[in-house]
Amino acid sequence: MTDPVITYHDTPTKGRYAATIEGIAGEGELTLSKVSPTLIIADHTAVPDSMRGMGVAQALVARLIADARAAGRKIVPLCPFVRAHAERHRAELADVISW
């Protein structure tokens, strides 16, 4: 299996990460809302059944965190999947998660 290819689409108030895997139908997504230049809310993560168990949602969250860190942003983990990940990794994500 190949790693997911993740793209990011941006608007002034929203953002959307999309993940695809070659040869597999569907697209995983993670959406966010921009509160300010330094604060974003992770709204929603979804992965189609065709991609379940392939680490796609985990890859989307990793990209969100890496991008937020690089841009000096904090993430409010409203999405249950992002929140669960953040709670499991509280110590290493303390710099980027805003509770």
**Domain boundary assignment for the chain:** 5-93
pLDDT at residue number 1: 60
Which of 6, 12, 55, 52 lies closest to 29, judged by CA?
6
Could you tell me which residues come within 8 angstroms of residue 97 by beta carbon, excluding any fewer than 6 positions away? 74, 75, 76, 77, 86, 90
Q: How far apart are CA 73 and CA 77, in angstroms?
A: 13
* Residues present in the chain in total: 99
pLDDT digits (tens, 9 = 90+) for 56-65: 999 999 999 9
Average pLDDT across the chain, whole number: 96
5-93: CATH class: alpha beta
Which of 98, 79, 83, 72 lies closest to 32, judged by CA?
79
CA atoms within 13 A on the CB side of 68: 28
Residues with pLDDT less than 50, the chain: none
What the block records as the tokens of 52 is 């379940």
What the block records as the tokens of 28 is 């995983």
